[in-house]
Structure 1
Amino acid sequence: MTDLIETVVENREMVQPNHANMLDVAHGGNVMKWMDEVGAMSAIRFAGEMCVTAHVNQMNFERPIPVGDTAYITAYVYDAGTSSVKVRLVTERENLQTRERERTTESYFVYVAIDEDKQPTAVPELTVSTDEGERLRQAALDGRNGNGGH
């Protein structure tokens, strides 16, 4: 069994000019790629197996991330099936100089754990043993079900 708190992965990507679109903000495709990578890290950490992306829920880009700011991405596993791993992902725009952050994107990805033969394989049971873990899990379930996740 793996506890939810053990699956939390946070990562930053500095938005450089080569990551930007014509408006000098992060290209949405780059943000999606970064989110997918961080989400996979969380899923692999949970499953103890390689994981591949199987599904991406709706992704709304609520505000831009300007060149020079960072994309601060947080991922954690909030549910699991037999071989599937459900991960909540939240991206925030972060100004490193002021430390100001604001949410830019939220989504829910599903990964599938695979074995050495690249076939689906079983994942452990997810446990939640802390108040913070329960708060994160509830936030994910509320957001996933359209109950004010953002």
Structure 2
Amino acid sequence: MTDLMETLVENREMVQPNHANMLDSAHGGNVMKWMDEVGAMSAMRFSGETCVTARVNQMNFERPIAVGDTAHITAYVYDAGESSVRVRLITEREDPRTGEREKTTESYFVYVAIDDDNEPTTVPELTVSTDEGARRRERALANEQREYRNRD
């Protein structure tokens, strides 16, 4: 599986009191963990290999996810190197009663595919065969570059 749209993974986590900080919203560490897990699923779907986290780009928490709401996480592969896989991750706060969503967090993770000896192994070339896939890839590349420029 090497097409961008085939790497699309979505998952939801209900924010429970044990996931919350003292403000009754999802603790940032839990959100990051959930994003990392969904991103790894996308990277593994793409590569057909076990993937480990190599880098997390800047992560801004734009708004909270309250206890009782759902963290809706979307991930997809938008680029790949020899053994590395770049994944865009977006988390949205979702009201489980209405389905209303708003973005809370976005980041770009890099995973490395590893073999049975835990050594880096090659990944396939990413293909983009749909207009939606092309739009997603262009958006990810543009947003990632904007993040790098804003670091200075």
**Interval containing the TM-score (normalised by the shorter chain):** over 0.9
Counterpart AA for 1:135: R
**Runs of 5+ consecutive residues of structure 2 not aligned to the other structure:** 148-152
Report the counterpart of residue 68 of structure 2 in structure 1: 68
The secondary structure found in structure 1 opposite 2:108 is strand
- Per-residue CA deviation, residues 20-53 of structure 1 (Å, 9 max, x unaligned), is 0000000000000000000000000000000000
Q: 1:123 maps to what in 2?
A: 123
CA distance, structure 2, for counterparts of residue 90 and residue 48 of structure 1: 23
CA distance in 2, matches of 1:69, 1:53: 27
Specify the SS of the correspondent of 1:138: helix
CA positional deviation for 1:96: 1.0
Query: How big is each residue's C-alpha offset from its partner over 1:81-135, in whole Å with a ceiling of 9 and x where there is no partner?
Result: 0000000000000001111100000000000000000000000000000000001
Give the drift of 1:146: 0.8
Gaps of 5+ in 1: none
- Partner residue, 1:133: 133
Structure 2 CA distance for aligned equivalents of residues 99 and 76 of structure 1: 21
Q: Residues of 2 paired with 1:58 and 1:78: CA distance? A: 17
Q: What TM-score, normalized to structure 1? A: 0.97
What SS does structure 1 have at the residue aligned with 2:30? Answer: helix
Partner Cα distance (1:21, 1:92) in 2: 18
Paired residue for 2:30? 30
What is the aligned residue count?
147
Alignment of 1:71-86 (within 5 A): 71-86=71-86
Shift, 1:142, TM fit: 1.0
Partner of 2:53: 53
Distance in 2, matches of 1:99 and 1:142, equals 28
- Amino acid of the residue matched to residue 107 of structure 1? S
Return the letter of the residue paired with 1:127.
T
